Amino acid sequence: MTAPGADGFVDRFGLECPVVQAGMGGGVAGDALAGAVSAAGGLGTVGMMAPRVFSEALRKASRRAAGRPVAANLLVPFIRQAHVDACVEANVALVVLHGGISPRWIARLRRRGLTVFVTVGTPEEAIRGLACGADGLVLQGSEAGGHLLGVEPIERALPGVLDVAGDAPVLAAGGVADAQDVRRLLDMGATAAVAGTRFLLTEESAAHPEYKRRVVGAERTLLTLLFGLGWPLRHRVIPSAATERWCVHSELGPRIGRVSGRLSAPLGRLAPLDAMGRLVALQRPGLPFFTPALPLAGMPENTVDRAALYAGETTRRLHDVIPAAQAVARLTPT
């Protein structure tokens, strides 16, 4: 399958709104959110989960989307062949990879006829991603919430990546809260905009209600390595008891937490993805060992102070939890 060129992305997927809902892993972006976004005319994305649940969520999301396309997000260190099979069976429109540029997984997904975009933060990564066979790119700006590859604000980073991308489509992620943000990125040359935090704050996202409530009221975010057990990556989060305890001297968190993150990286790759979710119950704000798992609806309320509360800098401009279809409408440029 060939990649849609920059102009063809919206047409090829029949989108009414040039906005992709970010695939938020661990269950936050499940079938309810992805299906509702696609049904409303954006491109909904099911975030990564353990293969069986992921496969079921993709099937249900497609049903909810009523014939419109649905995308899938995969975090490279945790991909298993069963995730690839699930994407093929569900006939997803697009697979977005995050957390590494893996020629092996790009090739395996493309060999099965899937369109693959890789998430990057710099022109160098963009060149590498395309050289490894990716059909397109998601460029993440440093204001983005969650797992962070971005090193510069999106509007500063975009021109350099567009320069090296040639005809390949570039989706722009980070700082997208309303239709003006989307319009600005499109005018700069992005193929579409990607929004995460806006969709975290929807009725359909499976984040814990107290987590959503705190994001709505948050005045600042931090860039930290505190939540790196099993997968040491920078994350943008809002403050919590865990960050108040461990990120006072440095936002990145204490040295012991960073070292344990690095040392535990191989374990993260070997353990099934849902093991991270189960470890959350053992985390304590007083101990600097936190996995990247986030608090989901149905978990005990005290999980919110023990887990990563991912959110981007748009938290300052997002003041409500709304239906996903309304979020798509608010992001649609006129």
Ligand X SMILES: Cc1cc2nc3c(=O)[nH]c(=O)nc-3n(C[C@H](O)[C@H](O)[C@H](O)COP(=O)(O)O)c2cc1C
What residues make contact with ligand X under the rule CB under 6 A?
22-25, 28, 47-48, 73, 75, 96, 98, 119, 140, 143-147, 173-176, 194-198, 200, 310-312, 314
Query: What whole-number distance in Å separates Cα of residue 73 and Cα of residue 127?
Result: 21
Nearer to ligand X, 188 or 254 (CB): 188
Instruction: Pick between residue 119 and residue 283 the one whose CB is nearest to ligand X.
Output: 119
Q: Which is nearer to ligand X, 63 or 317 (CB)?
A: 317
CB nearer to ligand X: pick between 205 and 264: 205
The distance of closest approach from Cβ of residue 67 to ligand X in the complex, given in angstroms and rounded to an integer, is 25
Residue 87 one-letter amino acid? C
- Least separation in angstroms between CB 154 and ligand X: 8
Q: In what order do the strands lie in the sheet with 146-147?
A: 146-147, 235-237, 222-224
Give start and end residues of each alpha helix (H) in the chain. 8-12, 31-39, 51-65, 81-89, 103-111, 123-131, 154-165, 179-188, 197-200, 209-217, 241-246, 255-270, 273-279, 324-331
What are the CA-CA distances from residue 280 to residues 265, 294, 299 (Å)? 17, 8, 10
CB-based contact 169:136 (threshold 8 Å) = yes
Least distance in angstroms from the C-beta of 119 to ligand X: 5
Cβ proximity to ligand X: between 155 and 254 the closer is: 155
Residue 127 CA: distances (Å) to CA of 106, 151, 161, 168, 321: 14, 16, 8, 11, 38
- Name which of 110, 163, 127 is nearest 1 in CA terms: 110
What is the amino acid identity at position 147?
H
User: Minimal distance in Å, beta carbon 15 to ligand X?
Assistant: 17
Closest CB 64 distance from ligand X, rounded Å: 20
Q: Which residue is nearest to ligand X (CB)?
A: 196
Greatest extent of the chain over all pairs of C-alpha atoms, in Å: 51
CA 28/CA 33 separation, integer angstroms: 8
Between 197 and 260, name the residue whose CB sits nearer to ligand X.
Answer: 197
Rounded least distance, CB 276 to ligand X, Å:
11
Distances (CA, A) of 183 to 27, 52, 106, 332: 30, 38, 30, 8
Beta carbon of residue 124, minimum distance to ligand X (angstroms, whole number): 18
Of residues 36, 167, 34, the one with CA closest to residue 92:
34
CB of 189 to ligand X, least distance (A): 18
Q: Judged by CB, which is closer to ligand X: 2, or 109?
A: 109
CA distance to 33, 47, 254, 272, 292, per residue, from 277 (Å): 20, 14, 22, 10, 9
- Distance of alpha carbon 130 from alpha carbon 133, whole angstroms: 5
Nearer to ligand X, 11 or 160 (CB): 160
Compare residues 10 and 24 and give the one whose CB is closer to ligand X. Answer: 24
How near is the Cβ of 112 to ligand X at its closest, in Å? 20
